[in-house]
Amino acid sequence: MKILLINPPGWQKGSTNLGLCYLAGNLIDKGHKVLILDLNAADELYESAAIKAEKYAPDIIGFSIKTSTANMAFLISKEIKKRYKKAIHIAGGPHITLDYKVSLVENPEIEYCFLGESDISFIDFVNRFEKGQSIKEVAGIAYLDKGSVIVTEQKYIEELDNLPYPSFDAIENFNFKDFRYPLITSRGCPYRCTYCCVGLVCGKKWRARTPEDTIAELKSAKKIFAIKTFEILDDNFTLKLDRAKQFCRLMIKNKLKLNWYCHNGIRADKLDLELAKLMKKAGCTSVALGIESGNAEVFDSIKKGETLASIVSAVKYIKMAGMKVVGYFIIGLPGDSLNGIKKTIEFQESLELDGYTYGILNPYPHTEVYDIIKRDGKILMDIKDSSHFSSTLTIPFEMPGFPKEDMKKAHYLSKFQRLHKALEFLKNKHSKKPIKILYIDFSENSIFLETLAKFLDNYDLDVFCSPWKSDDYFKYKKARKINDLRAFKYSPYFLKNLKNILRLFNTYRKRKYDILFYNLRTQKKMLLFALLLIRPKNFYLESEDGYRILMANDKEVRRFLFKKIKELIIRLPKVIISFLLTFLIRIAYVFFGLFLYFKRTGPIIEFPTPNTPLKIKDKEIK
């Protein structure tokens, strides 16, 4: 049979839908023809998906649906049904497993829902459908029958080693360049975290592949795709320490020489120093921890079964092993507040993490947190329209102790921690006096000025930007309180550009700014000139991701500045020689011209005027 699998567009760009690839691998192994449309990677409109579906003419169309992609998935399904009615539509994924009843009733285009793991049940369904047999005995499906929702018993796969490897070739126009191979080594979670849906979707029983099978998959991927990096996507990779250590030992023994990391998060209480060192030796470069909250009361209430002390220990082990450590935090957990988030930020700073991410809580349907918010709080929007960890801020609910406006403040505090501290320091120092700020921005997209206004009221702001940004800044000049706005005028001549920059920076120097903010997506060559010539009292670098603020004493900044100074020192002689040669060549042109003039030979020509004829050597030409 011909099967079309669709990954709807969402905020989480750059990630491969591994679930669909597993389904494709299993279907292809059984002789079926499969195509995956990854609309999240292609960023195509739903009309385009409908046209492609009609052209492919499948028998079955399946959608992988997360809560944040559900509305778009249902819209695509409707559009396809308008153009091509021959295929049946099925849906699976986390959101469908959690909310299949509502999904079936509200979206009649979806005829069958697959709950939990569908690697085996979907094959059974396809085979029965192809032969015209009854599908009522297929495990883990839900469908409407005369207005009633019928559900069959779910079954979880015990022997994960028996599953075929995922098929990435099935993805239309898949780009294998710099392919970060996604690897699953286990499924299920026995813990009861109140905000998490993994146990509801994948089951409470933890099941694992053998380390030998996962190593075999990596060997195959390295041979076929020439991968250099992979990412472990398990929810509980280190649940059994001995198994995780054996995986690392096999990586070392087989000399795979692959870089890898665990950014889906591992439990802090399931890590010891021996495992951390083995992970590093096996090629792991970075580990993420789901910390969620640094407020002890909130942390204990979410039923993770860990302690904050175990977080501290895990961070210590990871650093001792020489890996980077990242922390994930949640804003809006029941019992939390704006002051609670401030405590979390203090705890996060004490850990000295290499990176961190804060996301607004998304109460997934039928999780414990969802029930608490429905009972004690207020749902403000359709959960399916919320954005979870995306850069777009959406607040889907509020609680009595944590209203929407406080959540907004908490969001900006978490995203711009250093900016907030820097501005608070200057506010206290300057009291009622306006803070003089210069912002240099040549980036394509910056949210800095919007954020500045959230933390500061009294300031004088000057902006120096690129020509393509000037229209945007002029448009919002008054709203963003910009006093002086200047756009860089490009010239094809290097020396003219340099002259213009030096002249402008000298003007800025005379204004004696309290603080300079410099967007690192701006030309980095200009930074040294800005610091040397403008000489601000304080300077901060806005990182390329637009969120972090780097300070002058940061190792990252010092390394960056030393690197640029070194490059400048190396290039300086070339620049000086080039400048001198240009100057000498121009002087040579002048002297050569004078030489030709004074050493001229031959007839002297006197050019005519209206009243005199042309003369050569006093001979008149008529």
Q: What is the pLDDT of residues 453-510, one digit of tens each?
A: 777 778 889 998 888 778 878 888 888 888 999 988 888 877 788 888 888 899 999 9
pLDDT in tens, 55-73: 999 999 999 999 988 999 9
**What whole-number distance in Å separates Cα of residue 443 and Cα of residue 466?**
8
For the range 311-319, what are the long-range contacts, defined as Cβ-Cβ under 8 Å and sequence gap of 24 or more? 311/268, 311/351, 312/351, 313/268, 314/268, 314/269, 314/271, 314/289, 315/268, 315/289, 315/351, 315/352, 315/353, 317/271, 317/272, 317/273, 317/275, 317/276, 318/271, 318/276, 318/287
What's the predicted TM-score (pTM) here? 0.80
Is the predicted pLDDT of residue 347 greater than 70, yes or no? yes
CB atoms within 10 A of CB 474: 13
pLDDT on residue 621: 46
Pairing of strands 619-620, 615-616: antiparallel
Arithmetic mean of pLDDT, 197-214? 94
Q: Which of 296-310, 391-405, 448-462, 540-554 has the lowest mean pLDDT?
A: 540-554
Per-residue pLDDT tens over the stretch 512-531 = 888 888 877 666 667 777 87
Q: How far apart are CA 514 and CA 135, in angstroms?
A: 72
Q: Rounded to an integer, what is the distance from CA 504 to the centroid of its chain?
A: 35
Of 3-7, 114-118, 426-430, the least confident = 426-430
Flag whether pLDDT at 561 surpasses 70: no
Nearest to 318, CA basis, from 249, 359, 265? 265
What's at 221, amino acid-wise? A
DSSP state of 402: B
Cα dihedral 268, 272, 274, 280 in deg (nearest 10): 10
pLDDT score, position 416: 81
Percent of the chain with pLDDT over 70: 89
Q: How many residues does the chain have?
A: 622
Residue 448: pLDDT over 80: no
pLDDT, position 87:
94
% pLDDT > 90, the chain: 56
**Residue in 38, 95, 92 with CA at minimum distance from that of residue 64:** 92
Mean pLDDT within 597-615: 62
Q: Could you identify the residue written with the tokens 């933390």?
A: 455
> Per-residue confidence at 609, pLDDT binned at 50, 70, 90?
low
**CA separation for the pair 241, 246 (Å, rounded):** 9
Taking residues 161-178, what's their average pLDDT?
A: 90
Interatomic CA distance for residues 457 and 152, integer angstroms: 60
pLDDT at 617 over 60: no
**DSSP state string for 288-301:** EEEEE-S-HHHHHH
580 vs 360 pLDDT, higher one: 360
Instruction: Tally helices (H) and strands (E) across the chain.
Output: 21, 26
CA distance 236 to 184: 10
Sheet holding 435-441, edge to edge: 482-487, 459-465, 435-441, 515-519, 538-542, 549-551
pLDDT class of 394 with cuts at 50, 70, 90: confident
pLDDT at 363 over 70: yes
Rounded Cα distance, 58 and 84, in Å: 9
How is residue 453 written in tokens? 């206004």
> What value, to the nearest 5°, has the Cα angle with vertex 438 and ends 437 and 444?
125
Per-residue model confidence as pLDDT tens digits over 256-291: 999 999 998 899 999 999 999 999 999 999 999 999
Instruction: Of 112-116, 148-152, 452-456, 461-465, give the lowest mean pLDDT range.
Output: 452-456
- Are 138 and 125 spatial neighbours (Cβ–Cβ below 8 Å)? yes
Instruction: Give the ranges where 142-267 is alpha helix by DSSP (H).
Output: 198-202, 211-225, 241-253
Predicted confidence (pLDDT) at residue 622 exceeds the cutoff of 60 = no
